[in-house]
Structure 1
Amino acid sequence: MLYLGKMSVDIKGKQQQQEAKRLHWFSGLFVVLSITGFVNWLFFPLPPFIEQLLSLVHALAGFIFSVVFCFYTLSHFRRTLGFRRPVILSIGLVLALMVLYLVVSGHLLIFTGVLERLSWLRDSHLWLSLVTVLLIVIHVLCHYLTFPERRKLVVPSRFVTLSPAINRTIFKTITLATVAALIVLMLDNITKAPPEDVSIDDYQYDYGASPFAPSLAQTKNNEFIRKRDIAGSMNCIGCHQASGEQWLASAHRHAADDPTYVRNVNLLQKSKGLSATRYCEGCHSPVALLTGQLTAGGQHAGVAGTVANLEGVGCMSCHGIRSLTSAEGVASYHFTPRSDYLFEHSSSPVLSFINEQLIKLRPALHKKELLPDVQKTSQYCGSCHSQFMDKSMNNWGWVKMQDEYQAWATSKFNLAKDPRFIHPQSKQCQDCHMEKIAGEDMAADSDGKINSHYFVGANVMLARQFGNEELYDLTVDFLQQDKVNLTIEPPEDKLSRQNPLYVSSEQRTVQNYPVALYRGKQAKITVLVSNQGVGHNFPGGAIDLSEAWIDFDIYDGAGQLVYSRGDLLANGEIEPLATVYKEVAIDRFGKEVWRHDLFNMVGRSYVNVIPSGSTDIVNFEFDIPDWATSPLTISATLKLRKLNQPYHDWVNEQEKIKENPIIDIARDAIKVPLLKTPAVMSEKQNSLGEE
């Protein structure tokens, strides 16, 4: 019996020793977690390097802590559940559940990242950590105040201090954490990719001191950008899958390999040299411009297979812009590379994974640098969607070209310009062209939505060119959302007879009087085209290339064509008498600049657009033949295509365009009875003729 009792005591003593060791590590790791977590929170923002280092140590300590916690909790509750201390036991149970939640939520945060839609997980992890620290202090105090001396695992030297063993363990743990941090620093330094040589010998400064002129793009000290700091959009898709997949289909992605651009930039290079292509590439391919490719020996983005050609306007091309240099356009932005996280550009799969997780875990720096407030403004879009040409390019003088920003700035979608035309909500470009849509993405908001990176506009040609049917359907739907409305005004019947019946004034205001047209007479039909929902002129963009027009047709009751305007000719061009919304640019000799060779443009011979909030009134006058039968069916359709036929055919000489779709934007139709001319009118006309 004595032997069994002694054996039992020895076993119990060994269990207590094991639990004590686990308590030491539990305490040490908990202190490290508290320090790294609360320092990052209380002193935010810290220098990025320290912030990431603390987060990495916090994550590594958390993994080890989760294992120690499981073993310590099991042994601790196995030993203490029989104690008759309900307060301490209750606090211990609550603590165990809270620490378990912290362990689980911490692991989720490490692997999923700090997502906006899961912000409650981050907040609960933080605030519950504070409560846990407080409860642990209370739990320990209650332990030393109420437990008998013989049951205490550790006898404190003072009332509120931990044992020397725990103190030593905490010291060891902090030391290990420090060593781990030094190892991380060493690994980060060793695995860094060698710096790229961005110096370029014999660079051609043909347009002034700026290496990026004649574009207005700027960098710090006008230095060239490393390719890795602006290219590599495919790396972004790993975290931003929905945004990346949309971008792959967008006109931004295809800004450089668009066959119309390739043909045009080749013309510019042939006419004025490679350095002149900087004018275009600042917006169509910042990769080529900012890395210094556009000089002798380099290649512009129209060359298939180059990084610039594959990127077009890539992720960093937009998200690397943190400020604007002016509102003039032609790439009037300042590009700044983002800061590197730990193990950035490492070739090791493990370290690359850690780098991705750090970005997810500490996204504040990433978001601050890549999504500044300026990117939410219309002026930001205007840095490329506004354009001018000066004497350095056209050897003539300053010429204003497309300017979507100015058109928006004077519209009802900006600040109120006229109390009669105030939109209920001011809108930026992004509100229409980057609408919120559902998407599985790290950047998704609390509703699981992201800003669309399809950049839906009017370019249905590119969507079909690269087989992006979803984008094609979205674009067609976007164009047909009644942003531009077409209405046929009912014709006036000047021959209608007086009604002998009395009609009150109230009835007269709502009475639709019957209207008729007459055989053998001339008639006039008015069509109203209203730009009520576009935030800039309609059409917008390069309107010397695109064209919108009214297809107007009248058929009689037997289906015979009575009158037509706006048909396509056999060669695909619009008939000359049609109402067309476009621009005709001219050179110094008055000839049309029809190949989009804007370096020859000095003015315009024709411009027809509809400003935002305005209505164009178009009258169609025609003779009604005697053979026409009643009723007349009058229809009008507003059509749009990206490329006019001459430019389309010119591009097709070298670059194959699969399709140039024509989209029906708006349509209206009415039926009008057709009558024989009344005798009274015939007699009146005859008498007038005799006189």
Structure 2
Amino acid sequence: MKSSFLPRRIGRLLVATLLGTSAACFIAALHTSTAYATNESPQTTQRHAYSQSTAEHYSYRFGAGQPFLPSFAATGNGEFIDPKSFPTAKYCGHCHQQAHDEWRQSAHANSFRTPWYTRNVNLLTQEKGVEFTRHCEGCHNPTALVSGALTKGSTVDRKFDEDGVTCSVCHSIQKTDTRGTGSYVLGQPAVLVDENGEPIYGEVSDKAILTHLDRHSQAVMKDFYRTSEYCSACHKAALPKQLNDYKWQRAIFLYDEWQQSSFSKQSPLPFYTKDTVSNCQTCHMRREELSLPDPGAKDGKLASHRWIGANTIMAKFYNYDVQFEKTVAFLRDNVFNIDIFGIEKNGGSMTAPLGTTPVTLKAGDTVTISTIIQNKGIAHSHVPEQRDMYESWVEFEAKDASGHVLSHSGALQANGEIDPRAHNFTNRLVNIRGGLNDLHQVWDTRVAAYNNTIPSGRSQIVRYQFRIPAGSRGPISITTRVNYRRFDQHFIDFAMQKQHYVQPVVVMASRTRTFQLGDNPAAAPDPADNPLWMRWNNYGIAMLDAQQYAESVRAFEQVAALRPDYPDAFTNVAIANFQWQRYDDSRTSLNKALALNPHSARALYYLALVERNQGNLDAAIANLREVAVQFPRSRDAHRELGFSYYQQHKYDEARAEYENVQGIDPDDLAAHYILSIVYRRLGMNDRAAHEAAMFADQKDDPTASTYALEYLRKHTEVANETVPWHTHSDLPVQPSTAKRDGTPAQ
């Protein structure tokens, strides 16, 4: 191919020089004769030539025929795609002015060029090599990946870097699956198809598109673009062994969290239910009124191509004022409910819920405040998993009437760092040296020392203890805030190569209660509070997640007393008792729930677990079947049903259920394990070996916890956060004697 291709290019150049505009006719004829001889279009011939030429100088670091690993991205025919084949965003913006204007300010458009991203990915290049960055660029810069630019000595013109994830990337994806890490198939871009539905490659005139809008839509739109599964291709990711030379590790799984949340309505297990289904696009592509012309709009509104999320620093850095304003509004849009719920005095029992229950305070009291923070507005965790350098934390402050600060946790220090004792919705990724991966070097990760992210629909309890000094004057005001900034100070200083770089801090939610010194009688419910039953319910959820099962049972029993017609109140009592391994008590509560709603899938699911734990497999299977009928996309129902069949040695039935699980989540660990056994017993040895290998790679490393223990031993100021039930005290804590990388201070 190479020897015949180069003379043809030279010939075209000579003809163009000698004949000027008439050369076009000659070249067209040459194209036609070549296509006729090879039964290929000129564009296909050119793509083959580009791909072959690129392959000759490409590093297949991860194996022949695997050009894009560690990303799961693929192209339609496995070949590289010439970056010139991608129409620019500016070209699309000729007509789609509104979409282009919004896209330019989005995280997609700026996915590669931001200094914090390039500094981080350059660390990977320096440490391991440019080939390893394919893992990142499959989602941050797909054009660089599929063009073959990510190889040592590449000569690809990378002017496309400025456009990041551009229009013609997203609108050329032919297929996705839910493995994530760039699990999409990218076709060669086309903005129009011919009368036979065949793609017309390259730029075409605006007039041609406007004349055939139906063919344009056929070329660039597919129904699955409107699904969360489409977004999962990148908004779910793993760290494979090819990247870290260690083992498979889950990085982020926003799709899975959404799929199991109340927003998707695909699972019976969330504590609350929604009236309607919301997917990724519902929240992140809300339809907005047009301010610029755009033929993609319907009824004067366009699905926003800003993809508003939580990237506050990007909008500030590039002076995208509208993007910033909308981002801040999005972060404050009913995401959290903060409930200053209870108070303990001098080591006594808790008085709660505050506001509707009388309490007496006096100077000299040592008080512990229990604050409940409910993630009610996000379909995934806050912050999403392994966003170790993102920063959202709780700030707590107590003051007396003279303004004297009695307690303050979560304040920003002089160097821009957050109080190390603050309750932070994050995790800490520890490397093989027992130090912190403080610059998001996820390829060096061995274990998360702890994970305080707050899942969708769940609540966390955060407790603060302080003393009201003698001589204090009331009232005492107590304020709790949930703060957010994009990056921790250490990372952003590294990224911007500037000490104490200032980035915006957004107060996502705030709540204040005041207490008189003396009697505080019960009052009417505060409109800022949830209904009384829900306050108890959120407290019960928080206690359940804090492994305080007795208190969780007590809280849910309060809900049942307030709402005796609410089946989930009794189911929640049963869940707490089940976690407490009190199976008979759990059954009693589940029977009460089913008496109110005989077809409650949530109650039936937990009753099935009780039945199985007590040896009643047939009853468990009957209940799980009903749950799976009501919720065919419930991975939990299929997994537990499959395990029940497995216990009965019904291997065909078990196989079917675990394959259903893998249809929802291809990386479900239990499915890998059980299928490795089931396939072998069914004589399917090749498939058994594959599942066994996947399980071996993806299971937890039993030695990894030693890295976390080593880190926490050196960083006592954060060790408190690893304990499910703990208190933040205003007593001073000795500073750590270790540096951020884990080595002792000199």
Quickly name the TM-score band, shorter chain normalised: 0.5 to 0.7
Q: How far does residue 187 in structure 1 lie from its aligned partner after superposition? A: 14
Structure 1 position 371, deviation (Å): 1.5
Matched, 1:450 2:311: no
What RMSD in Å do the two structures reach over aligned CA positions? 3.2
- Tell me, yes or no, if structure 1 residue 488 matches structure 2 residue 340: yes
Letter in 2 for 1:429: C
1:463 matched residue in structure 2: 315
- Following superposition, the deviation at residue 251 of structure 1 comes to 0.8
Is residue 485–residue 503 contact of structure 2 (8 Å, CA) maintained in 1? yes
Partner of 1:660: 503
Alignment of 1:34-433 (within 5 A): 195=46, 197-198=50-51, 199-200=53-54, 201-208=56-63, 209-298=65-154, 306-324=158-176, 326-339=177-190, 341=192, 355-414=205-264, 415-418=266-269, 421-433=272-284
Q: Is the contact made by 1:465 and 1:657 (CA closer than 8 Å) also made in structure 2? A: no
Matched, 1:674 2:517: yes
* Bigger CA radius of gyration: 1
Q: Is 1:570–2:414 an aligned residue pair?
A: yes
- 4+ runs deviating over 6 angstroms: 185-190, 342-347, 492-496
- Corresponding residue of 2:383: 539
Contact kept? 2:489, 2:501, Cα under 8 Å = no
Question: Amino acid of the residue matched to residue 66 of structure 2?
Answer: S
Task: Quote the offset at 1:586 in angstroms.
Answer: 1.2
The 1:538–1:511 alpha-carbon spacing in structure 2 relative to 1, beyond 3 Å, is: closer
Distance (Å, rounded) in 2 between the aligned partners of 1:411 and 1:346: 42
Corresponding position of 2:19 = none
SS of the aligned residue for 2:95 comes to: coil
Q: Secondary structure at the match of 2:288?
A: strand
Q: How far off is 1:339 after superposition?
A: 3.7
Secondary structure of the 2:511 match is strand
> Structure 1's 189 and 450: CA in aligned 2 closer, same or farther, altered over 3 A?
farther
Per the alignment, residue 22 of structure 1 pairs with none
Distance 1:245 1:542 in 2: 31
Given that 2:190 and 2:200 are in contact with CA atoms closer than 8 Å, whether structure 1 keeps it comes out as no
| 1:258 CA displacement | 1.0
Q: How many residues of Structure 1 are paired with residues of Structure 2 in the alignment?
A: 471
Distance 1:524 1:594 in 2: 33
**2:374 pairs with one of 523, 530, 546:** 530
**Range with bigger deviation, 637-646 or 308-317:** 308-317
Bigger mean CA deviation after superposition, 474-483 or 334-343:
334-343
Query: Offset at 1:374?
Result: 1.6
Q: Distance in 2 between matches of 1:257 and 1:657?
A: 22
8 Å Cα contact 1:385/1:541 also seen in 2: no
Distance in 2 (CA, whole Å) between partners of 1:318 and 1:362 is 21
2:476 aligns with one of 625, 628, 632? 632
Distance 1:299 1:519, change over 3 A: farther
Alpha-carbon distance in structure 2 between the residues aligned to 1:187 and 1:239:
34
Do 1:636 and 1:669's aligned partners in 2 also have CA atoms closer than 8 Å? yes
Q: CA deviation at 1:220?
A: 2.2
Using the alignment, how far apart are the partners of 2:145 and 2:500 within structure 1? 26
Deviations 1:242-293 (A, max 9, x none): 0001001111111011111110111111111111111111100011001111
Q: Secondary structure at the match of 1:266?
A: helix
Measure, in 2, the Cα distance between the counterparts of 1:227 and 1:284: 15
Amino acid at match of 2:105: A
Displacement, 1:444?
A: 3.5
Query: Does the CA-based 8 Å contact 2:493-2:501 persist in structure 1?
Result: no
TM-score (norm 2): 0.59
- CA-to-partner distance for each residue in 1:68-114, whole Å, 9 max, x for gaps? xxxxxxxxxxxxxxxxxxxxxxxxxxxxxxxxxxxxxxxxxxxxxxx
| 1:609 counterpart = 2:465 | no
One-letter amino acid of the counterpart of residue 312, structure 2: V
Runs of 5+ consecutive residues of structure 2 not aligned to the other structure: 1-24, 34-41, 521-746
Q: Is the 8 A contact 2:85 2:202 kept in 1?
A: no
Q: Deviations over 1:189-213 (max 9, x none)?
A: 89x9994634312211001221111
For 1:511 and 1:254, how far apart are their aligned partners in 2? 47
Contact 2:415–2:500 (8 Å) recurs in 1:
no
The match for 2:324 is 472
Contact 1:548 1:582 in 2 (8 A): yes
Per the TM alignment, residue 576 of structure 1 is displaced from its structure 2 partner at its CA by 1.9
Q: CA deviation at 1:346?
A: 8.4
**Which sits farther off after the overlay, 276-285 or 533-542?**
533-542
Q: Would the aligned equivalents of 1:259 and 1:657 in 2 still touch at CA under 8 Å?
A: no
Cα distance in 2, alignment partners of residues 597 and 555 from structure 1: 40
Distance 1:483 1:249, change over 3 A: same
SS of equivalent residue, structure 2 residue 413: coil
CA distance in 2, matches of 1:616, 1:640: 17
**Residue identity in the other structure for 2:100:** G
The verdict on how the C-alpha distance between 1:513 and 1:267 changes in structure 2, with shifts beyond 3 A counting, is closer
Q: Is the 1:486–1:667 Cα contact (8 Å) retained in structure 2?
A: yes
Q: Deviations over 1:279-314 (max 9, x none)?
A: 1111000110011111121279xxxx9323211110
Question: Helix, strand or coil for the counterpart of 2:77?
Answer: helix
Q: Distance in 2 between the 1:558 and 1:384 partners? A: 52
Taking structure 1 as the reference length, what is the TM-score of the superposition?
A: 0.64
**Contact map agreement 1:486 1:530 (CA 8 A) in 2:** yes
Q: Structure 1 residues 396, 246: CA separation in 2 closer, same or farther (over 3 Å shift)?
A: same
Whether 2:362 is the aligned partner of 1:518: answer yes
Residue aligned with 1:491, SS: strand
How far 1:512 sits from its partner (Å)?
3.9
- Asked if the contact 2:189/2:201 (under 8 Å) is kept, the reply is no
